[in-house]
Structures are given as C-alpha cells and as structure tokens.
Amino acid sequence: MKITAAITGVGAYVPDYVLTNAELEKMVDTTDEWIMSRTGIRERRILKGENQGASVMGIKAVQQLLAKTGTKPEEVELLICATTTPDMLFPATANIISNGVGITKAFSFDMNAACSTFLFALATGAQYIQAGTHKKVIVVGADKMSSIVDYTDRANCILFGDGAAAVLLEPSTDGFGILDQVLRTDGSGEAYLHQKAGGSRRPPSHATVDAKEHYIYQEGATVFKFAVKSMADVAAQVMERNHLGKDDVAWLVPHQANKRIIDATANRMGVGPEKVMLNIDRYGNTTNGTIPLCLADYESQLRRGDNLVLAAFGGGFTWGSIYLKWAYDGDKVAAGK
C-alpha cells in the first residue's frame, strides 16, 4: 500500500511580549492606520532576554507537540528545523532543540530557504516517511526575526515578529497527508531581499556592523509584486494538478507576510476569506513560524479529510505550495479526547 506522510499533531509557542503598532508609532515615523492598511498587522510577539535564540521557542513548541500527541522523545527518529535565524552558524538549531527536549535517538539538521523553508522542510521530512525508513519525524519552524530587524527602519520593523511551531509526521496508508507539492527557487531574487553581511562572503566586522548590514534588506515593491504572482501561481498549479475546485479546498494556509499578498493568492484560487487561515494581525511575519502557527491556531476547526493548500514565498527568491489531506479531527485534540 502507498505510504504518505500525515500531520498527526501540532505544537506552538509565541513569546509573551507584545509589540503593538502604538509602540512602534513612538519608535519610527508611522501610524497604526498606515500599518494596518498596508500589511494587516496589529501587533507582533518579541522574544526578550539575554542569550535567547530561536531554539528557545522551538523547544517549547516541540515540548507541547510531544505532550499533545503522547509521543516520547526517544520515539522521534528525525527532527528538521526550518529557520532563517539559527542560534549560531553551528551547531544546528535542530540539534539544540533535540537536546533541549530529550530527543536522543534521532538525527537532526537545519534548513534555510528564507520564508519558504517550512514548506521545503515539510516536503523533505515527508520523503523519509514515504520511503518507509522513518515513522516519526518532527518539522519545526522557528525564527527570532527581531534579531535581524533594524528598529529605526520603518519599512521593515513593522513587519516581523518572533514565534515557533512544530508538526509531527507519521505514516498513513489511508490517503491522508502530503499528496503533492510544487517548490521553486530563483536566485536572481538575491538582489531584492537579503541580509548583506554575517556569512562567509562578508564576515562580521566593525565595518559591517556600523553599516547595519546584519539587518534585513529588501526592495519592497519588487518583492511584493514577485510574491503576489509566485504564491498565487503555485497554489493554483497545485489545485489544477489535483483537480481541486474552489469548493474542494477546506483551507488555504498562506505564509503570513502581508495581508494583501494573502488576499491576492486567495482570489487567484477562488477561495473566499472564510477559508483562509489568518493570524498576521496578531503575530506579524514570523517567517518559518507562520504556516505551522496557523495550523496550531486553527487546529480545533480542522476535520479529518479536509483538503489544505499551503503556500509560501521567501527571499532570494524561494516559493512553493503543498497539497495535503488533514488526518484527524482537531476539535477532539482541543477537548483532550
């Protein structure tokens, strides 16, 4: 029988500190009305404190996931961390998370494809399940975007927040789980959305720090146009390849970068707003946390057999879409059944 990789549980964590638009009005020349009308963001969460990296949030998300699914740490065979803001260049943040939750009989590694990484990591984790070599794989999306945001740059500081969420993948022979994917990259996008320094090309130095080259750089208009077209195209392609009409899709799960991009993707798919997972207003763009955080927030509304279309776009450029069939009734998990 054909084996597919089904999501059998979700865990999530966001920091306590809430950065509101009102607070940003005191930091840069902006207004709540301007931010809301252009992005749909009302507030975002920020991880405060010394020596606090993406792994801190990833550990809490995985701990919740293990508890909710009744999974023992030693049962996990692979953990992949999707992150653009690793704790350090090495060891992998995935290793730190595994150690933090007591996962000792698995291998783990990081992936980085900017905001599309969670989708790429989900597709990668699914391959281990489908090959029949692994039965329990965790994929974590965790990013501390506040660590690479310039809070004097009004164009970027309004967009990003911190957060993490994780999913458990297990084998299914009933047709549930990840059924199709379209994943793409275009390296010419490097010029429009990147972090200039901090890697081997431009290692950290007094000059790079003084020039603020360790923060996010983007040409907003170009990125917006490319993101709208790319996310909409791959989401529509996944629907066409799987003969899905708008009435067949239970939920669109889009990367939460900008509400106007989300609306454009939904319109291209013909999906109404009632079928679009949305939490950008509360979290902003948490990069690789956005899609799994949506799954966590909407888990109680998900039903076994629901058709979900996931779509994302990231810097550099990367983008993609995944079609999956949901494997369990989320309301029963929320009720503790």
Q: What are the residue numbers of the active site?
A: 115, 255, 285
Q: What angle do CA 131, 134, 138 make, to 5 degrees?
A: 115
- Cα 220 to Cα 261: distance, rounded to the nearest angstrom: 12
d(CA 154, CA 75): 46
Residues comprising the chain, all counted? 337
C-alpha closest to that of 98 among 63, 123, 49: 63
Cis peptide, bond prior to residue 226, ω within 30 of zero: no
The reply to whether omega before 91 is within 30° of 0 (cis) is: yes
HSE toward the beta carbon, residue 288, CA cutoff 13 A: 34
First and final C-alpha spacing in the chain: 29
Under 8 Å between Cβ of 3 and 171: yes
23: left (phi over 0), alpha (psi -120 to 50) or beta: alpha
Question: What is the 8-class DSSP label of residue 113?
Answer: B
Nearest to 312 by CA among 240, 262, 248: 262
Q: Where are the beta strands (DSSP E) in 234-294?
A: 251-254
DSSP string covering 38-72, please?
HH---EEEE--STT--HHHHHHHHHHHHHHHHT--
CB of 249 closer than 8 Å to CB of 300: no
**Sign, CA torsion 108/109/113/114:** positive
